[in-house]
Chain A
Amino acid sequence: MDLDRYLNKIVSAFRKRMTRREFVGTCAKAALCAGVGANVLGLYSKYQAYAAIGEKRGMREALFYEKISDETVKCLLCPMGCVLSNGQRGFCRVREPVDGKLYTLVYELACALHIDPVEKKPIFHMMPGHKTLSVATAGCNSRCKYCQNWDISQSPPEETKNKIVTAGDLVGSARTNRCASISYTYSEPAVFYEYMTATAALAKQHGVRNIMVTSGKINPEPLENACKLIDAAHVDLKGFDKKYLKDTCAQDLDNILGSLVIMKKNGVWVEVVNLVVPGLNDRMEDIKRMSAWICDNLTADTPLHFSRFWPQYKMRSHYPTPEETLIQARETAIGEGLRYVYIGNIPGSQGENTFCPSCKRTVIERTGYTVRKNNLDNGACGFCGQKIPGIWS
């Protein structure tokens, strides 16, 4: 037989007209095959999930979940509210139920550990110039398209290079390296909640402060609990438009704003950071509304940082934020009554300094991550005595 005729036979078979019965029969067979195939694949992927968490390091029973059955749980940590079957991974990629119990997979399993100046977080009203020990695990419950740390935030722990760093190790390391605080940062500390709170509790006992660098995408109850341990929070308020937040970051604006209010109410020192992305969230009307909201709901003393977008991750073909946009944003925010408005990544700009709202003099002068001059006197302006809010010691 000739190859081409053999192939034509196969093609002709597809072109042949079917009776209704034959058609239904063919569809049923195809559906059965597809179903079997899907189940095989599903079993395989479940097997992979179990295999993946066969690595027992990092596993600890999670807080804030609800058992629905021996097969299903509902996570209550963040607004995603994942309902998960055994072996199914949550949206954050780091929580998974086993035998009806939800586990975090990143307990004491750090993948990034560095010492940074606190100005880099940025946190400007907390012990200026001190070093902070920064720690992160894999996973995140957002999907920001310009994430600087996408390689850890958008990865499950089995795909990152991790090592066990206990709470005790972290606190010990902070003290050894003279870091006045520990920052839970880079990815999203809400998703390594258990690790963060355990470390924060121990840190507090040893006089080390705790900073949460978060998007604020967390449910109220866990947040209220965390606020008892956290001293300061940098909250990324990435935009003030619901659609933009949803499309770009998979976040809900109301949830983030609610988190801000909870933190403020619980006495956490809050600094809000807005990453200005040109063409996407740089409209001055939105910045005005955001500033007004902060003023009304968090007080005019809440620092607001405008930071500059650099092409990253999936947005690497976008251009960086022009300097004048940040300057204009700052002016808009100040116009709405905010007293401490900063610009990041533009060294030498006025937006790096803290000014006394009363006498307008420079209380803290910064360039980049370095504090040049500190004219604070016991938390007050060294010139006129006006109280400057923050954590100064």
Chain B
Amino acid sequence: MRFLWAKDTGDMVLKNLHRISVIFSIFTVGFTAIAAQIIFLREFLVVFYGNEISVGIVLFSWLIWGAVGSYCFGGLLDRSARKEGIFAWCQLCAAIVLPVVFFCVCVSRGLLGVLPGEIIGYIPLAVISFLVLAIPCILFGLMFSLSCGLYNSVSGAGGADIGRVYVYESWGAVIGGLIVGSWMMRFYEPSFLVISLSVLNVVASLFFLYSSCREKHVFSVVKCFAVFLLFLSVFFAANGYVAKFRDISLSFLWKGYDLTGNKDSIYGNVAAVRNGSMVSFYENGLCLYSVPDLLSSEETVHYAMLSVPRVKNVLLIGGGISGRIKEILKYDVDHIDYVELDPALIEMAKEKLKDDDLKPIVSPKVSIINVDGRAYVKTSDAKYDCVIMGVGDPLTLQLNRFYTVEFFGEVKRVLKSDGVFAFSVTSSENYIGPEMARYLASIKKSLSLIFKDVAVIPGDTAYFLAAGKDGIITRDIDIITNRLKQNAVETKYVRDYYLSSKLSSDRIAYVDNALLSAENECRVNMDFRPSTYLYAISLWTSQFEPGLVRNLMGRITDQYIWLAVGVLCLFFVAIFIFLGMRVRNAVIMSIGTVGFANIVFEMVLILAFQAMYGYLFYKMGVLIAIFMAGLASGAFFASRASVFFRRSGVYFAAQSGVCVLAALLPVLFESLRMVRPLWIGADFLCLLLPFFAGTLGGVQFASANAIWVNDNEGIVRAGGVSYGIDLFGACLGALLTATVLVPVLGFYGTCAIVSVINMCVLLLYIAAVFAKK
């Protein structure tokens, strides 16, 4: 349905204005969707303590509801005469719903009756995210579908409009990701950002409404409501209600705690909580360190430091604010390099710690280096007597990088020949079960490949000590206590009265035997095959869903996954044949498989570059923005390329490109790993590859839509179907990549699966083309 305008110059201007408002609205949908995704993901991670699995679960909910909104509701409204009004209402609903959803996420812990400090499993997260994200994501999906119809009404290019809408929406997402994810999150509270998004949508709605119709009485209700919302937002902002909203959200989030500091950085949320004289620091909702915590500090430091005859230079990776520097300074060291990725943590410590606890951190012997620890070790030319790491358990792929064979090799390079490397992970003093044993054994196995001597100090926290030579590390109580005396080091916990129990022959034999018996069952941990991460998340999950872990997760192996892929491909073939071997069907299937591939590429590229280069150069939001820019550019290119090339040719090239890229990525990663990176080269690749992968995906999506949508009727439905299928593929990719594919198969196996699935669909397309001929 078209709106008819008067045929004078003024009406031409209005017509253009209407077109601009439609484009702006589409842009706003993309901007809001990605910005809201970043903000809500951050909040979910803080509330539920998140890792990549949590991200996958939330993204799954996000994308599946988006698919429902686009496919089901978009289809429903295909023939509606009120698309403009409905679209405007959707914008206003989004404006209202976003702050409500944000608030719901903040109060969800209270609703679940969770104790302060209690970690909850993935199932509550899945349920809450699925329920809470339903309305906003349906709205975003629906708005995309409606956008196709609206844009079609001002351009009339049929199926190609879907591609153009995708371009505008993607650019909105790129700009949103850059502005909100990489910039605003550093300076503004999430509650403020959510309100800002609401205002943006209200403004976009008003712009759209007033430019879309010449008769004032049309859409009068929605216009009034939009104006009302605008005034309400201004009123809220002017009277400080935004700050109150923030305070109320925080009070729910930190119920039961005396929150004394809260900062959002590009790395996450950092908070400080006080209880009496103790200050505890949280990152993304998980307690990192408490100060003072002598037990952890002493054990982390002294077992290692006492092993080395003369310690002059120490590298501390993470954990410096927890009291470890204070313990290190009890020795006659010359210098401590303290590497901490997030400067917000240091700033918070400087604000909240007492002078006694702060003084060691600001000592002239200490250099604080705010870079990724992995990147620092990889590029440092320094040599250390002792490297002590305190980054926490490898419960995320990000942290798993610090427990791989490759990283251990990098540490050995910066360690002197008689130096010691030490770190701690969660363990159990009295019983080491199968999951715990595999987890610890994989770490020990990986360490043993690089270091000649590896020992474990048993306890509820296991302390790993590694040295390049035999005879350096000791677990002998007398030697340790003698060395304490020789170094004139005063300790409270690392003393004979505790060590006699901790390092008894019974306890040492128990942990050694437990790890030895598990070594054959576990794999070595590598950057591109994160086995320790798999065991860590199995262990973590077994706390909440023991049956699930032992019956299911423990049985997912490479063979089962490949079997599932085989069954999926057969399913595609069966559906294809059953429905008559048509080109359209193959193309529709490929939209889903490339949606899957896009998410996998995005995650694999980010994680792979992190593994190789760390956080040194890139922030997650920038990489994602580059990927989205690639999507947008690809879609734009495809829409223009139809002038010079056949649509089927562009599609074929893009689909083949996806298969080839997936197959080549492992080769590329291996090549990069063998070459000591030049920074400029690494920089360039980190920009180029995500952009290239995104471009392929964008070209494929736009060209696929241009092929299968062959009329102007049902453009909304068509847009809804393709976007819905794309999102469905993406949501499966989001869920499966971090939970199953990467942990079990590694990066290379995951890329291989993407290649195989897309190759299958490509072959079906080729078969359909030949069948047509």
Assess the A324–B436 pair: CB atoms within 8 A: no
Given contacts A114-B510, A117-B501, A150 and B119 within 8 Å (CB-CB): no
Assess the B584–A3 pair: CB atoms within 8 A: yes
Find chain A residues with CB under 8 A from B256 CB: 279-280
Name the contact of A317 in the complex, choosing from B286, B435, B497, B582 (C-beta under 8 A): B286
Write out, one digit per residue, whether chain B residues 407-435 have a CB within 8 A of any chain A CB (1) or not (0). 00000000000000000001011111111
Whole-angstrom CA separation of A322 from B588 in the bound complex: 60
Assess the B429–A148 pair: CB atoms within 8 A: yes
Name the contact of A319 in the complex, choosing from B278, B295, B497, B543 (C-beta under 8 A): B278
Assess the B588–A4 pair: CB atoms within 8 A: yes
Within 8 A of B (CB), among A124-173: 134, 136, 145, 148-152, 154-155, 159-161
B96-104, B110-118, B520-528, B687-695: which one contacts chain A? B110-118
Q: Is B550 an interface residue (CB 8 A)?
A: yes
Within 8 A of A (CB), among B495-518: 495-498, 500-501, 504, 506-507, 510
Assess the A369–B501 pair: CB atoms within 8 A: yes
Whole-angstrom CA separation of A8 from B74 in the bound complex: 12
Whole-angstrom CA separation of A152 from B546 in the bound complex: 11
Whole-angstrom CA separation of A152 from B429 in the bound complex: 12
B148-156, B225-233, B269-277: which one contacts chain A? B269-277
For chain A, the count of residues having a C-beta within 8 Å of the partner chain is 56
Assess the A324–B501 pair: CB atoms within 8 A: no
Whole-angstrom CA separation of A279 from B118 in the bound complex: 12
Assess the B275–A278 pair: CB atoms within 8 A: yes
Assess the B500–A159 pair: CB atoms within 8 A: no
Write out, one digit per residue, whether chain A residues 231-249 have a CB within 8 A of any chain B CB (1) or not (0). 0000000000000000110
Q: Is A310 an interface residue (CB 8 A)?
A: yes
Q: Is B290 an interface residue (CB 8 A)?
A: yes
Find chain A residues with CB under 8 A from B766 CB: none
Assess the A136–B431 pair: CB atoms within 8 A: yes
Q: Is A120 an interface residue (CB 8 A)?
A: yes
Assess the B278–A322 pair: CB atoms within 8 A: yes
Assess the A318–B498 pair: CB atoms within 8 A: no
Find chain B residues with CB under 8 A from A149 CB: 428, 430-431
Interface size class of B (residues with CB under 8 A): 35 or more
Assess the B430–A114 pair: CB atoms within 8 A: yes
Within 8 A of A (CB), among B271-319: 273, 275-278, 280, 282, 285-287, 290, 293, 295
Within 8 A of A (CB), among B705-754: 708, 721
Q: Is A112 an interface residue (CB 8 A)?
A: yes
Whole-angstrom CA separation of A32 from B120 in the bound complex: 34
Whole-angstrom CA separation of A325 from B116 in the bound complex: 18
Shortest beta-carbon distance from B383 to chain A in Å = 35
Assess the A248–B431 pair: CB atoms within 8 A: no
Whole-angstrom CA separation of A12 from B128 in the bound complex: 29
Q: Is B589 an interface residue (CB 8 A)?
A: yes
Name the contact of B579 in the complex, choosing from A3, A112, A136, A348 (C-beta under 8 A): A3
Assess the B75–A136 pair: CB atoms within 8 A: no
Assess the A186–B115 pair: CB atoms within 8 A: no
Assess the B430–A161 pair: CB atoms within 8 A: no
Assess the A1–B580 pair: CB atoms within 8 A: yes
Q: Would you give 18 A-B contacts (Cβ < 8 Å), ordered by A?
A: A2-B582, A4-B721, A114-B430, A114-B510, A120-B501, A148-B430, A149-B431, A151-B433, A280-B115, A315-B115, A317-B118, A318-B118, A320-B278, A347-B493, A347-B498, A348-B492, A367-B497, A368-B501
Task: Give chain B's interface residues, CB within 8 Å of chain A.
Answer: 49, 71-72, 75, 113, 115-120, 256-257, 273, 275-278, 280, 282, 285-287, 290, 293, 295, 426, 428-436, 460, 492-493, 495-498, 500-501, 504, 506-507, 510, 542-544, 546, 550, 575, 579-580, 582, 584-585, 588-589, 708, 721
Task: Give chain A's interface residues, CB within 8 Å of chain B.
Answer: 1-4, 6-8, 11, 111-112, 114-117, 120, 134, 136, 145, 148-152, 154-155, 159-161, 186, 247-248, 278-280, 310-320, 322-325, 345, 347-348, 367-370
Known A6-B579, A368-B501; further 8 A-B contacts with Cβ < 8 A: A1-B580, A2-B585, A159-B546, A313-B543, A314-B543, A318-B117, A319-B273, A324-B276
